[in-house]
Amino acid sequence: MIMSCIVIDDEPHAIDELSELIALVPHLDLVETFPDARQAIAYLQEAEHIDIIFSDISMAVLNGIEAAQILNNYCHFLVYVTAHRSFAPEAFQAKADGYLLKPVSYLSFTQKVEDLTLKYHDIIKLQKDEQQFLFIKGGQKSSYIKIKYSDIVYIEAMLNYIMIHTTTGHEITYIGLKAMEDKLRVLDIFFRINKSIIISLNYLDRVDGNIARLANGESYQIGDKYKSVFLDFLKKHTLKS
- pLDDT digits over 46-56, tens only? 876 799 999 99
List where CATH 2.40.50.1020 sits in the chain: 133-236
d(CA 52, CA 5): 5
* pLDDT at residue number 179: 84
CATH, range 3-129:
3.40.50.2300
List where CATH 3.40.50.2300 sits in the chain: 3-129
* pLDDT at residue number 129: 61
Q: Which residues of the chain have pLDDT under 70?
A: 48, 126-131, 241
The CA–CA distances, whole Å, from 67 to 39, 48, 78, 121 equal: 11, 16, 11, 26
* pLDDT at residue number 17: 97
CATH, range 133-236:
2.40.50.1020
Cβ-Cβ contacts under 8 Å for 33 (sequence gap 6 or more) = 6, 7, 8, 9, 15, 19
d(CA 187, CA 50): 16
* pLDDT at residue number 125: 73
* pLDDT at residue number 223: 94
